[in-house]
Amino acid sequence: LLIKAVVSTQSTGAPAAGAATEGLDVSQEDGVLTIRLNRPEKFNALTWAMYTAIGETLNAAAENPSVKVAVITGTGKWYCSGNDLSNFTKNMPAGGPQEMASNGQRVLNDFCDAMIKFPKPLVAAVNGPAIGIPVTTLGLCDLVYCTDNATFKTPFVSLGQSPEGCSSFIFPRTFGFAKANEMLLTERQITAQEACDGGLVTRIFTEDRFRDEVDKVVKHMASLPPQSMRISKGLIRQEVTEKLLEVNKRECEVLRERWLSDECMTAIMNFLNRKK
């Protein structure tokens, strides 16, 4: 239903009928598809259903000629706080942790593959702090704009997990190995300016100008010849697309192993208990 709804969406600004997924708003206007994370009470943390819906939305938009540009953004003060850790503790499938980990591996792999394969401009509008996968997948976007109060952190090791979103490949090539290791291994949080200086972020805007400035960019892109845009992106990405798909597959395989480890389970339970 989600795919059919997004494909049939016209440039009226109305959300696609039937495309509703809790915590996610999808709309289209003047050639710009906006995917808005909408769980402000949970800092826009991602559920398995949201991962699947975002991936399916991008796959459908790739084939929809009325979509020229796609934007991912958040609601409220946060961009996204990463994976909702209740994904690992609620609604355990009949097959137990093994099935849960296999399902999570598939969902995450499909989600990142959809971003990697998306043939049109993909813009991240980072409206606030980001933790985990919304940080790592910024390298899969074509343009990244953020507010001056945005921060970026990847706390994988403390949760007994490992890098995803192709960050094990992209971050060292963006920041250099020393800076990438500081983010991925020591979990150091970086500022918007550091992310911009390092090449992860395209440009920074003040919070009061952020939405207007991003709108100007995406509307301009949507007005440009779409085939030229698509061909140009293909040329820019052609040398790395297959490599990114390979890296994503391997990262998801490793994550499945980590999710089943005692170390990871203990770390997640300790984190959830601290939040109570």
Average pLDDT rounded to a whole number, residues 124-129: 98
The reported pLDDT for the residue numbered 87 is 78
Would the CA dihedral through 174, 176, 178, 179 be positive or negative?
negative
Give 180-219 pLDDT, tens digit per residue: 999 999 999 999 999 999 999 999 999 999 999 999 999 9
Residue carrying structure tokens 């942790």: 97
φ and ψ of 190, to 5 deg = -115, 155
pLDDT score of 6 more than 70: no
Give 70-118 pLDDT, tens digit per residue: 999 999 999 999 999 777 777 788 889 999 999 999 999 999 999 999 9
> For residues 115 and 133, is the Cβ–Cβ distance under 8 A?
no
Ordered DSSP codes for 195-209: HHHHTS-SEEE-TTT
The reported pLDDT for the residue numbered 16 is 45
Structure confidence at residue 119 as a pLDDT band (50, 70, 90): very high
Please give the C-alpha separations between residue 185 and each of 5, 81, 119, 228, in angstroms, as whole numbers: 41, 18, 32, 40
Rounded to the nearest integer, the mean pLDDT of the chain is: 92
Residue carrying structure tokens 């459908």: 60
Segment (H or E) for 154: none
Q: Structure pTM?
A: 0.91
Give 8-49 pLDDT, tens digit per residue: 333 333 334 335 899 999 999 999 999 999 999 999 999 999
Find residue 71's DSSP bridge partners: 34, 123
